[in-house]
Amino acid sequence: VEFLYCDLASMKSIRQFVQQFRAKNCPLHVLVNNAGVMLVPERKTDDGFEEHFGLNYLGHFLLTNLLLDTLKQSGTHSHNARIITVSSATHYVGKLHLNDLQSRCSYSPHGAYAQSKLALVLFTYRLQHLLTASGSHVTANVVDPGVVNTELYKHVFWVVKVVKWMSAWLFFKTPEEGASTTIYAAVSPEMEGAGGCYLYNEERTKSADVAYDEELQRRLWTESCKMVGIYD
């Protein structure tokens, strides 16, 4: 195991990380996008983005795009490189505000978090479309880990924390259980060559209807490229 530092709330840090990784001339067979914050108070990343959207979504968007060439070089016809992005069931209630992605008009921690998770699903579907169109041996899928007992809930109300403390053993997944679908997407032979899937409990399932809107996928992709400063 080798560790390289990458702060997904900083576009500069992401670019430095990619430079360091590329310098190693290593293949990249699996990229798991699994970092984030939930229900944080209104605040901004180093680049001035609303934190949920900037860290949960834009950080992964830039990282994935900067690593795409390496992924394409690493994948083969029989063993595709794989991109797995971790979203959440909250994307089902999320709304994408293309005219206010930074939640400047009206900030809601719940709304901002759900929007960032919906954006990850839209991003994954658009990415798979582009990968297929270019004939790349790379697949992109999105995972819902379920409700997992981690520190992600540290910003919820104290009442919710108490309920979580009392009932997590019964209703929450352990971190190991929460990771199982991500691992399935990353290594399972059944997922070889399969892309554009939404996975929950190691099964393909249907995401929110709005996530299949190809025009919305395209518009979000174009806007995201502008925001992080890469070519569309």
Six-digit token string for 205: 């399932």
Task: Clarify whether 107 is annotated catalytic.
Answer: no
* E-strand stretches of 44-197: 81-86, 138-144
Residue 203 parent element (H or E): strand 203-205
Which residues, 6+ apart, have CB-to-CB distance to 217 below 8 Å? 122, 123, 125, 126, 129, 211
Return the structure tokens found at 34. 């699994």
Sign of CA dihedral 190, 93, 106, 216: positive
Q: How far is residue 221's CA from residue 82's CA, in Å, rounded to a whole number?
A: 20
Q: Which of 57, 113, 153, 184 is catalytic?
A: 113
Q: Which tokens sit at 29?
A: 């067979």
Separation between Cα atoms, residue 67 and residue 71, nearest integer Å: 6
Assess contact for 139 and 80: CB atoms under 8 A. Answer: yes
Contacts with 9 (C-beta within 8 Å, 6 or more apart), sequence order? 45, 46, 51, 54, 55, 59
Q: Which residues are catalytic?
A: 113
